[in-house]
Structure 1
């Protein structure tokens, strides 16, 4: 990436120097230029999953890599795909979707995390020790993430259009600033993720949980 383009991307992290539309356009360009992300988005679209999105780390970490000149897949632990199907809350139905995604993308199968958001409340408390309210749609799940910075989603629309959603905006992603979401009780998760991420991206600015 040339210096002029890098400076332009960094400028997107300053709210007064760019609009949200500018940031959305930049995310679209970065996603479109990343083959792995486009393959995932196409597979999700081809499967016809309801209310389905690629979310979180696979997106914002790809942006961070573009900002810092690292390989596009540097540090990405997994690619989270969410969908919302309230017609069948069984694990078996979800597992069929997981297996379909793995079959479509065998080389990425070990990094794919596919979850039906309509059934998260059925297993979340047993796994994490705190209750989780039933969601009404896939997008609602973004508001429960430990960091507002994590709350970003993309999907492939008609004629190759890339739809971008970010309930808390995209400025913190381009500023490489991890911002906690105090609406959740996820302090330990936030601090654990912050530790891992700063080890990989030392440029990251972490807002302390108590400062939110």
Structure 2
């Protein structure tokens, strides 16, 4: 499937990827509140398919977000990372409680994981996936999927509205990630 046009197409990509489904199952087993696997986990899969890659681009890490305002101690996140590492040591797990990430990001408090995802730097990265109680794949894309499936990298509305403090962060991230080296069809929209 090199033609991805809808959220359902993305869901089907994920459902047909054994490793992605294994990762989602491991994360679901943690039973974290408002929990999603997000960012590059989905973005890279979509971009790989749209570029016709036969071999998946290796993930730097697997981002897991959840929302628990009752316990914002960062050491708790490390415990969840360790549990996941014990279940699958071949993955570099990153677990973050979005109820505290607003502090690190110098933002107003987030209302939920989906609210936090909407404030990620790029629209193409602002996506998350989870398994529901019946193991259906659920996708959240608070910024839509248009940029993701059209290979456009642009800042989210949150970054645009806060350009005075976020533009430099966005540009540094683009430089560090250097996505066009892997995915040559990308159209990068800069803030500076």
**Interval of TM-score (by shorter of Structure 1 and Structure 2):** 0.7 to 0.9
Aligned length: 185
Aligned position for 2:72: 89
Note the aligned Cα RMSD (angstroms): 1.8
Would the aligned equivalents of 1:55 and 1:81 in 2 still touch at CA under 8 Å?
A: yes
**2:161 pairs with 1:183:** yes
Taking the aligned partners of 1:62 and 1:107, their CA distance within structure 2 comes to: 18
Give matches, 1:183-202, under 5 Å. Answer: 183-184=161-162, 185-195=165-175, 196-202=178-184
SS at match of 1:186: helix
**2:119 pairs with 1:151:** no
Q: CA deviation at 1:78?
A: 1.7
Q: CA deviation at 1:61?
A: 1.1
Taking the aligned partners of 1:189 and 1:201, their CA distance within structure 2 comes to: 21
Structure 1 gap ranges (5+): 13-22, 126-130
TM-score normalised per structure 2: 0.87
What do residues 4-55 of structure 1 show as CA deviations (whole Å, max 9, x unaligned)? Answer: x42x33xx2xxxxxxxxxx111111111122222112101111111110011
Would the aligned equivalents of 2:123 and 2:148 in 1 still touch at CA under 8 Å?
A: no
Q: Which structure has greater helix proportion?
A: 1
Higher-Rg member (1/2): 1
Give matches, 1:97-176, under 5 Å. Answer: 97-108=80-91, 111-122=92-103, 124=104, 131-176=106-151
Aligned position for 2:188: 206
Taking the aligned partners of 1:143 and 1:72, their CA distance within structure 2 comes to: 29
SS at match of 1:154: strand
TM-score normalised per structure 1: 0.80
Structure 2 gap ranges (5+): none
